Structure 1
């Protein structure tokens, strides 16, 4: 999974303007992020139509604020720079919950 470098919302939207992506907001210190991380390769494989990009919350704290991401782990899906949907809260997420979110896009 690619890691997003530090950037603001305008740079992000330019970066993903012609892509179908799911941003995975996480942090190394987050126990709920560590809980879902082992499932991510299987989720990426199942939903290969999306490019999955890790966003380090601490590295991109301003971007998180711009996107109203105040809890992690969280996910936001975009297609051609437009938000398709979000699974954003501070709760622990299971593989089934993440897959259900993606299926509902």
Structure 2
């Protein structure tokens, strides 16, 4: 999983391609819970490029996209939001995969 480096990179990425932005933070316990199985999820859904977005580094982007809980996921294709899985709840591998499969 790639880590978002800058807002400029985000602006370029969102316009071309198929991405799942994963909003997370190092201090987030629920984010640490999903870490072990996220590589398997990314392998299963290769049509998407998974991008790790550090909530603390990109708080303005979180506000812009209404991300109030982490971990959260936003799927984007060629500038259009395909869907989002945004809540304050702990997420399971099955729930994340169901979200992606339904896109």
Q: Same fold by TM-score, threshold 0.5 exceeded?
A: yes
For the superposition of Structure 1 and Structure 2, which TM-score range results when normalised by the shorter chain? over 0.9
* Unmatched tracts of structure 1, length 5 or more: none
Q: Which residue of 2 aligns with 1:6?
A: 6
Runs of 4+ in 1 over 3 A off after TM superposition: none
The number of equivalent residue pairs is: 103
Q: Which residue of 2 aligns with 1:102?
A: 100
Cα shift readout 1:23-63 (whole Å, capped 9, x = no counterpart):
00000000000001111000000000000000000000010
In the alignment, the residues of structure 1 paired with residue 84 and residue 48 of structure 2 have an alpha-carbon distance, to the nearest angstrom, of 14
* Unmatched tracts of structure 2, length 5 or more: none
The answer as to 2:83 corresponding to 1:85 is: yes
Counterpart of 1:62 in 2: which secondary structure? helix
The root-mean-square deviation of aligned C-alpha atoms, in Å, is 1.2
Counterpart of 1:85 in 2: which secondary structure? strand
Residue of 14, 28, 33 corresponding to 2:26 = 28
Q: TM-score, normalised by structure 2?
A: 0.95
Q: Which residue of 2 aligns with 1:15?
A: 13
